[in-house]
Amino acid sequence: MNLNLRTVNVTRYITPLREGGSLPALAEADDDFKYVIKFRGAGHGVKALIAEFLGGQIARYLGLPVPELVFANLDEAFGRTEADEEIQDLLQFSQGLNLGLHYLSGAITYDAATNDCEETLASKIVWLDAFITNVDRTFKNTNLLIWKKELWLIDHGASFYFHHSWDNWQSSAITPFALIKDHVLLPKAAQLSAVNAEFTARLNDVVLREIVNQIPEDWLHWEDKTLSPEEIKEVYFQFLTLRLAHADLFLKQAQDARKTLI
């Protein structure tokens, strides 16, 4: 499977999508497609882009429906005519490489009360989110869309939350994911054991290394750390391989949490 991302140049800022504190935006690129752009100048900076990238790429490799990801380049002059000062500042601090998700025009937000999700797909999504420690797929904020009668996963920027403290990444990698109890699809995830067997067999060091190595070096110069870009990549890789090796921990956590719901 080709996991390489295309790079596009953002040509037109269309409108902000005022969701949370990250201020993503709908924009058009030089390939004439529209994208939801996640900006490096937003709240959690490049760490949110790395989480979005890693989560989306792992999901894609596992066959889950994720809108196409692209690297989105923002020119130095872009946004100077933007009237909103907050947005102008955001664009100024986001010059360079950002991340875009193909815009699913006409998509509606998944609602557990009215939309269905079959149990195998639900189990795959729950497993993925437990693996990447995604705290943001709840009933309040599902980060799931219905587009052309199919379910699509968006917004993995809150995953890998260990990297906001960073120093305890080893213990974070082998910690059961307690917040899975709030997952919107957990009640439907009746095939977790089968999915765990499938996904732990499909993922391996070679795949995870390939994905991690694709993180742009431009996103790996952190003012709060003395680590080199290669050292930061190595931590992400070790985190993923260690977590995969201990998948039984977060699997059991999810299964136990589900028992309290059904």
Q: Write the DSSP assignment of the chain as a string of letters.
A: ---PPEEEEEEEEEEE---TTS--EEEEETTS-EEEEEPTTSTTHHHHHHHHHHHHHHHHHTT---PPEEEEEE-TTTTTT-S-HHHHHHHHTT-EEEEEEE--TT-EE--TTT----HHHHHHHHHHHHHTT----BSS---EEEETTEEEE---TT--GGGGT-TTHHHHHTS--GGGGGBTTGGG-TTHHHHHHHHHHH--HHHHHHHHHTS-GGG---TT----HHHHHHHHHHHHHHHHHTHHHHHHHHHHHHHTT-
Give pLDDT, residue 165: 82
Q: Is the pLDDT of residue 65 over 60?
A: yes
Q: Is the pLDDT of residue 239 over 70?
A: yes
**165 or 242, which is more confident:** 242
Q: Are strands 69-74 and 96-102 parallel, antiparallel or unpaired?
A: antiparallel
Tokens representing residue 223 in the block = 């003012």
Closest CA to 71 of 110, 97, 108, 46: 97
Give residue 223's pLDDT band: very low, low, confident or very high (50, 70, 90): confident
The mean pLDDT value for 201-214 works out to 97
Residue with tokens 């070096």: 217
- The CA distance from 229 to 216, in Å, is 9
Give pLDDT, residue 259: 95
- The CA distance from 255 to 252, in Å, is 5
CA dihedral 108, 110, 113, 115 (to 10 degrees): 80
Give pLDDT, residue 44: 81
Q: Is the pLDDT of residue 20 over 60?
A: no
Give pLDDT, residue 80: 64
The whole-chain average pLDDT of the chain stands at: 93
Please classify residue 257 by burial: count the beta carbons closer than 10 Å to its beta carbon, then call 0-12 exposed, 13-18 middle and 19+ buried.
Answer: buried
Encode pLDDT of 131-152 as tens digits.
999 999 999 999 999 999 999 9
Give pLDDT, residue 19: 60
Encode pLDDT of 145-201 as tens digits.
999 999 999 999 999 999 988 878 999 999 999 999 999 999 999 999 999 999 999
Give pLDDT, residue 82: 66
Q: Is the pLDDT of residue 233 over 70?
A: yes
Instruction: Report in angstroms the alpha-carbon separations of 244 from 122, 148, 195, 200.
Output: 19, 33, 13, 7
- The CA distance from 38 to 133, in Å, is 19
Residue 147 in contact with residue 66, Cβ under 8 Å? no
